[in-house]
Amino acid sequence: MLDLSSYSSLGAALRDALERWADQTCLIEADRERENSRLTYRQFKEAALPLARALQEFGFSGEDRAAIIMTNQSKWLISAYSIFYGGGVLVPLDYKLSAPEHLQLLAHSKARVLIVEYYLWRAIMAASNFKELKAEIVLVTEAPAGANLAGARRWEECKDVREPAFVARTRKDWACIVYSSGTGGRPKGCVLTHENYLEQCQALIALYPFWPGVRYLSILPTNHAIDFMVGFIGPFLCGATVVHLRTLRPEYIREAFTRYKITYMALVPLVLKNLEKGLKERFVALPPHRRFLLNCLIGLNRFLTHDHPNIKLSRFLLRDIHRAFGGELRGFFVGGAFTEAATLQFFYDLGIPVANGYGLTEAGTAITLNDLQPFRPDTVGRPLPGTDVRILNPDAEGIGEVAVRGKTVMSHYLDDPELTAETIVEGWLLTGDLGRLDSSGHLQLFGRKKNMIVTEGGKNIYPEDIETFFEGLPVKEFCIFANNYLWPQRDSKAMLGEHLVAVLRLDGAQTLSEPLRQELATRNRRLPDFKRLSGYIVWDKDFPRTASLKIKRGILAEEIQQRLVHPSSVIEL
């Protein structure tokens, strides 16, 4: 890995990485059975510099802002490097947002350049507020011949062969403007500096090194903080290879593991949970004697690796499972939302450790990360090197608001000094999350501060924490709200007490059967009185989720309020 302490910008560090590992493969782009492209670091540079030169010819200069709206592919990374090379500020936008949302964030970020995939550009052109687009330079990828681009240029035609000018930046200069929420209300553009990213990368690689030969499978959107770091910046600064899949169908993801001998992969908890479910179904389908032998080997591996992973031993004991993952997998990274301890334990027992962490867009990729020394599925790990975490106003159980300080914390919110002053106080980022640090420095999370309710008896209740008691509930998805959060204008407290409501989304043709009712009631009775659910709601739509598949609780609550205007809609337990 490069010595990142000697670099002042991502552009400079990436430029040297492309030279140092010129003959190593940096990018593989695959789509179903076929491989679209395979680039060495030298070829990546040869693809990016003409684009950087073309942007400069169009008038793009240092400190200008350039947005990318694109699915995972090599052109995303090539475009990002071209922007950094020219000293620009990258604005990575979630391609899953609607066209009006894209236009809102483009306006808020004051992006002068937009690099966008053709099908997304068509949606933007069709939006009612398209005329409000202020971007002066629009480059469209994969546009068919003869397509109406409304004055935009084709990305593929930006092939100026003259050497572009490298524009140096300082560590305190802006690198990216990253939006921590999709939109609808007040856009929150987190301004992250080159120092934020360089320090974050250095801290992460100290715990989980990459090197030439490592192959990282990228399925998360590159605009997402996790994949931007561990699927672009980290691998490139270490000479590793990124494998992009342009499909998320499970059978092709499974094939990619064996085809490309994947070393690492980042997931969000929902995808990890689905992977666990698929593996368990395969195990159950085994003949009884093979299932018995497998369970014995898993138990032996659990015993021998109780505190610390031993990849070689696990691959020997459970070789068929590891071969199914390509034989080179060293582990998963997971973040973006809560991950059940039982899921982490399941994979650890298979010899596939999951490094789960906790982070905010406002603090780069990660604040804490499990280093597996020892394995602790009940926490989100220790603070990264160079990051300080403290608990503000802890209660009798040591639970309070998590505050963070360090060189990975953002500079500010774009054009919002009031929100910045509320969020960063005396150098400490107030996360709004409730947690507790144990004696070994591991952080445990309990939920959002704004969701916490205090009973008349002085007890604190965290709805997200209660959800752990209902892990594995046989429904498609569920979440828990405080009654007064859903119906703040109603006297729900008098009707339903100070307890909580479960919102259930059933799976496919599933019905609210009596066994499901009984399971809900049985689990509920095991909780202390002050933590019990008042009842539940059966919801008929998939929950709104972020790019990291975290439930958008605020939006879901609004939808429930609009359709179920009175707490009498709750089915009591």
CA distance 153 to 158: 8
Give the pLDDT confidence of 418-471 residue by residue, as tens digits: 999 999 999 999 999 999 999 999 999 988 777 676 665 556 777 777 888 888
Give the pLDDT confidence of 92-111 residue by residue, as tens digits: 999 989 999 999 999 999 99
Fold agreement (4-251, 452-572)? no
Domain boundaries, the chain: 4-251, 452-572
The CA-to-CA distance between both ends of the chain, in Å, stands at 57
Which pLDDT does position 493 carry in this prediction?
A: 42
Give the pLDDT confidence of 267-291 residue by residue, as tens digits: 988 889 889 999 999 999 999 999 9
**What topology is assigned to 452-572 in CATH?**
GMP Synthetase; Chain A, domain 3 (3.30.300)
Reported pTM: 0.86
Which pLDDT does position 128 carry in this prediction?
A: 93
Which pLDDT does position 546 carry in this prediction?
A: 77
Q: Is residue 182's pLDDT more than 70?
A: no
CA distance 416 to 54: 33
**pLDDT confidence bin for 83, thresholds 50/70/90:** very high
Asked if residues 91 and 169 have their Cβ atoms less than 8 Å apart, the reply is no
Which pLDDT does position 491 carry in this prediction?
A: 47
CA distance 349 to 82: 43
For 291-311, b/e burial (b = at least 16 CB within 10 A) is eeebeebbeebeeebeeebeb
**pLDDT confidence bin for 66, thresholds 50/70/90:** very high
Asked if residues 354 and 320 have their Cβ atoms less than 8 Å apart, the reply is no
Pairing verdict, β 368-369 and 571-572: unpaired
Give the pLDDT confidence of 466-524 residue by residue, as tens digits: 888 888 888 999 999 887 778 776 544 443 445 688 999 998 878 888 889 899 999 99
Asked if residues 560 and 537 have their Cβ atoms less than 8 Å apart, the reply is yes
Report residue 537: phi and psi, to 5°. Answer: -125, 135
Report residue 127: phi and psi, to 5°. Answer: -70, 145
DSSP run (H or E) holding 542: none
Which pLDDT does position 165 carry in this prediction?
A: 96
Which pLDDT does position 166 carry in this prediction?
A: 97
Which pLDDT does position 282 carry in this prediction?
A: 94
CA distance 445 to 436: 7
Mean pLDDT across the chain, nearest whole number?
A: 91
Q: Is residue 239's pLDDT more than 70?
A: yes
Which pLDDT does position 161 carry in this prediction?
A: 83
Residue 162 to residues 52, 57, 410, Cα–Cα distance (Å) = 10, 10, 35
CA distance 573 to 569: 13
Give the pLDDT confidence of 35-62 residue by residue, as tens digits: 999 999 999 999 999 999 999 999 999 8
Give the pLDDT confidence of 127-158 residue by residue, as tens digits: 999 999 999 999 999 999 999 999 999 999 99
455-464 contacts: CB < 8 A, separation 24 or more? Answer: 455/498, 455/530, 456/498, 457/530, 459/530, 460/395, 460/399, 461/498, 461/500, 461/530, 461/531, 462/434, 463/500, 464/338
Asked if residues 247 and 31 have their Cβ atoms less than 8 Å apart, the reply is yes
Give the pLDDT confidence of 368-392 residue by residue, as tens digits: 999 999 999 999 999 999 999 999 9
Q: Is residue 261's pLDDT more than 60?
A: yes
Which pLDDT does position 496 carry in this prediction?
A: 40
Tokens in use for 49?
């510099």
Give the pLDDT confidence of 316-328 residue by residue, as tens digits: 999 999 999 999 9
More confident residue, 301 or 513: 301
Q: Supply the DSSP symbol for 399.
A: -
Identify the architecture of domain 4-251 in CATH: 3-Layer(aba) Sandwich (3.40)
Q: State mean pLDDT over 196-207.
A: 96
Q: Is residue 125's pLDDT more than 90?
A: yes
Which pLDDT does position 464 carry in this prediction?
A: 76
